[in-house]
């Protein structure tokens, strides 16, 4: 079965299963780094929000022999598990003062998102090959997060400029999503502990003792761990950390969700770090989560962020 036929078969089969109370449609969705995914939007009568479930990976599973019935069952389970919270009233989104309190920024790669950046207001950092785009934080709870990307067409509705968005987001983003810095050793230890505790149903004794890394590495993200790489642009965050460590900093773009920070030492090979970042991006990080193949240098004396070493391949480079 060819790809287009698979998409239609999935949609029609689920429509028959769910009945006329539901409305199903196929949508091509542009994600980060120019990635286009085909999603199935499942809407229910009377509800103002509808989750979109991406089908690309399911098609790969189907090609490798997974029964269609199993795939349909998984999609239904994903739908029931991903029901969205109720969005705010539409009228609220027309009120400039209400909207301004919810504007936040996210950090993406500039080169890999050239087409997207033509359609959305953004603050470019061309010397870093990065850009800040703006979203509305519509709902944030312990269990869910709803955001909406702001497009150029929204600016006229609200009477905002890009500078207005940036000034609002500069205040709102650290307030709504505070930065969090932890040592990489601590993060790894916590992940290992949580994994084993689940396997042992909470019976694990606290025996972890991860030795310090050399050079020491720190993870910078936000309180949710989602789109936390943008916290490098929180006012004072890199300056304060550099002062606390009495050192310049190397920034490794782990993903759009977090970065790694290394206090700079002259024994560190920037070229080796750049090669490592590129390899991890290609082999470990999903394409839509990649931030940059460059590594960055923060100068404590100049309070400036620059590219420390340039990879020969842009972030949009496809896996071989």
226: in domain: yes
Cα 102 to its chain centre, rounded Å, is 18
Same domain, 287 and 204: yes
Q: Are residues 284 and 196 in the same domain?
A: yes
- Same domain as 189, residue 131: no
pLDDT given for residue 193 in this prediction? 59
Same-domain pairing of 77 and 190: no
- 224, 247: one domain: yes
- Mark whether 284 and 191 lie in a shared domain: yes
**pLDDT tens profile 117-136:** 999 999 999 999 999 999 99
Q: Is the pLDDT of residue 32 over 70?
A: yes
Neighbours of 95 (CB within 10 A): 11
- Mean pLDDT, to the nearest integer, of 139-160? 83
User: Is the residue at 318 inside a domain?
Assistant: no
Please count the structural domains in the chain. Answer: 3
Domain for residue 317, yes or no?
no
**What range defines the domain where residue 139 resides?**
90-176
Contact 248, 264 (CB under 8 A): yes
Instruction: Report pLDDT digits (tens) over 78-116.
Output: 988 876 656 666 667 777 888 999 999 999 999 999 999
311 pLDDT exceeds 90? no
pLDDT of residue 214: 61
Where among 64, 81, 98 does a domain terminate?
81
Q: How many CA atoms lie within 13 A of 114 on its CB side?
A: 6
Please report whether residue 227 resides in a domain: yes
Instruction: Produce one character per residue of 178-213: b if its CB has 16 or more CB atoms within 10 Å, e if not.
Output: ebeeebbbebeeeeeeeeeeeeeeeebeeeeeeeee
Same domain, 127 and 239: no
pLDDT > 70 fraction of the chain, expressed in percent and rounded: 84
- State whether 37 and 157 are in the same domain: no
Q: Which of 154, 176, 198 is the last residue of a domain?
A: 176
Q: Is residue 36 located within the same domain as residue 127?
A: no
Side-chain half-sphere CA neighbours of 42 within 13 A: 24
- On whether both 40 and 142 belong to a single domain, the answer is no
With respect to residue 316, please indicate whether it lies within any of the assigned structural domains.
no
Would you state the structure tokens that stand for residue 201, as one six-digit string?
Answer: 């149903």
Query: Chain-wide mean pLDDT for the chain?
Result: 87
pLDDT, tens only, 179-205? 999 998 887 776 665 655 555 555 444
| Residue 58, pLDDT above cutoff 70 | yes
Say if residue 208's pLDDT is above 50: no
Residue whose tokens read 């022999």: 65
Question: What's the rounded Cα separation, in Å, for the pair 235 and 174?
Answer: 9
Which of 287, 302, 282 has its CA nearest to residue 239? 302
Decide if pLDDT at 155 tops 50.
yes
> Of 134, 158, 176, which residue sits at a domain end?
176
The pLDDT value recorded for residue 125 is 97
pLDDT tier at 142, thresholds 50, 70, 90: low
Q: Say if residue 312's pLDDT is above 60.
A: no
Question: Is residue 110 a part of any domain in this protein?
Answer: yes
| Within a domain: 314 | no
194 with 253, same domain: the answer is yes
- What six digits make up the tokens of 226? 């989602």
113, 221: one domain: no
Confidence check: pLDDT of 261 > 70? yes
Q: How far apart are CA 254 and CA 235, in angstroms?
A: 21
pLDDT band at 75 (very low <50, low <70, confident <90, very high): very high
Is residue 52 in a domain? yes
């Amino acid at each position: 079965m060819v790809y287009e036929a698979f998409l239609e078969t999935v949609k029609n089969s689920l429509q028959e299963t769910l009945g006329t109370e539901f409305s199903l449609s196929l949508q091509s969705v542009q994600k980060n780094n120019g990635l286009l995914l085909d999603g199935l939007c499942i809407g229910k009568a009377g509800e103002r929000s509808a989750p979109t479930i991406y089908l690309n990976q399911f098609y790969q599973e189907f090609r490798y022999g997974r029964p269609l019935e199993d795939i349909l069952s998984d999609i239904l389970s994903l739908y029931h598990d991903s029901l969205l919270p109720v969005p705010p009233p539409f009228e609220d989104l027309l009120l400039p003062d209400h909207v301004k309190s919810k504007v936040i920024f996210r950090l993406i790669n500039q080169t890999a998102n050239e087409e997207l950046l033509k359609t959305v207001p953004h603050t470019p950092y061309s010397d870093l090959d990065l850009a800040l785009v703006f979203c509305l934080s519509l709902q944030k709870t312990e269990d869910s997060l709803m955001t909406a990307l702001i497009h150029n067409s929204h600016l006229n509705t609200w009477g905002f400029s890009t500078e207005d968005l940036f000034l609002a987001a500069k205040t709102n983003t650290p307030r709504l999503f505070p930065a969090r810095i932890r040592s990489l050793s601590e993060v790894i230890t916590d992940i290992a502990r949580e994994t084993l505790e689940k396997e042992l149903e909470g019976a694990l004794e606290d025996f972890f003792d991860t030795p310090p890394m050399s050079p020491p590495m720190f993870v910078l993200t936000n309180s949710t761990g989602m789109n936390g790489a943008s916290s490098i642009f929180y006012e004072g965050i890199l300056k304060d950390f550099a002062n606390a460590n009495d050192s310049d900093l190397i920034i490794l773009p782990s993903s759009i969700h977090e970065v790694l920070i290394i206090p700079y030492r002259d024994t560190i090979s920037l070229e080796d770090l750049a090669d490592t970042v590129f390899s991890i991006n290609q082999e470990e990080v999903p394409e839509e989560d990649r931030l940059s193949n460059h590594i960055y240098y923060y100068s404590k004396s100049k309070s400036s962020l620059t590219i420390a070493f340039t990879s020969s391949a842009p972030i949009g480079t496809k896996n071989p």
